[in-house]
Amino acid sequence: MIDLALLGCGGGMPIPERYLSSLLINYVGKKILIDCGEGTQVSMKLLGWGFKTIDIICITHGHGDHIVGLPGLLSTIGNSGRTDPLTIIGPEGIDNIINGLRVIFPYLPYELNIIENPKTSITIGNAREGEIILSTLNLDHSSPCLGYSFYIKRKPKFDVEKATSNNVPRHLWNRLQKNEVILQDNITYYPSMVLGNDRKGIKISYITDTRPVKDINFFIKDSDILFCEGTYGNEEDIEKAIKNKHMTFREAAEIADNGEVNELVLTHFSPAMLNPSIYLENATNIFSNTILGEDRLIKTINFKD
């Protein structure tokens, strides 16, 4: 089970009842934060999800509506008593951005590990507690910008028949199921000797501040949930979307449809769009399972079998 909280769904500038871009993923007690616009800490405090256990912060790009909340959050995490290292992942230039912001927080009681524009997928966690495969995609915005996907792997089921046929002693079953490799009586026992086939995991994708690019369709394919920008709801604003390198509701829905995702959550609304619901049909006419994001929207996704 994975819990998701859309902490802020605004773009550009905060307005009453709408903070700026941020999404929090909570899985087996660990948290991943995506973007940290103004209001991120307030939403987290209102939800009561806690700050200390944020292990990774993923930044899409360096524009203020996605990072201005970062200095305060990092300081709050330090004040919470954290001493373990914290990882920040971002596009080209993120190292310079973080170092510039450090003028505001010159001291932290924990180490920052900054990963700039990762070229390969990153595995978070371990097989025993649960693994998350983090992948990135370069997007088309006015500054270097990354899209993110997270694949939460699922442990295979324990297979009694397989364990028995492999003559695995019963007292080792539990440890092997927890992915231990055990040497006993000169025999090595592997988890594969008691576990069945891999099971489908959960995929979460986050795409914001970009024009549609073909690579997005494959990148988000078969996502259980896609959080995607819909900066403009009205199709009459398409020229603005092209000029500012953003998307409309319709374009986001086309991406969701092409990527065969299960659910689309629209976010990153322009401050000029006070009532996004007026334009929701522009998306649902193309991709029916579309909802509007709102601050502190909670989504829980369960494994399917």
3 state SS of 85 = coil
Question: In whole angstroms, how far apart are CA 151 and each of 31, 237, 304?
Answer: 14, 34, 14
Q: Hunting for tokens 């199709």 — which residue is that?
A: 235
C-alpha to C-alpha distance for 55 and 39, rounded to whole angstroms: 19
Question: Among 209, 268, 275, 234, which residue's Cα sits nearest to residue 11?
Answer: 268
Q: Which residues contact 58 (CB under 8 A, 6 or more apart)?
A: 32, 33, 34, 35, 88, 89, 90, 134, 146, 148, 206
Q: Which residues contact 94 (CB under 8 A, 6 or more apart)?
A: 59, 62, 88, 114, 116, 117
3 state SS of 181 = coil
Active site residues: 65
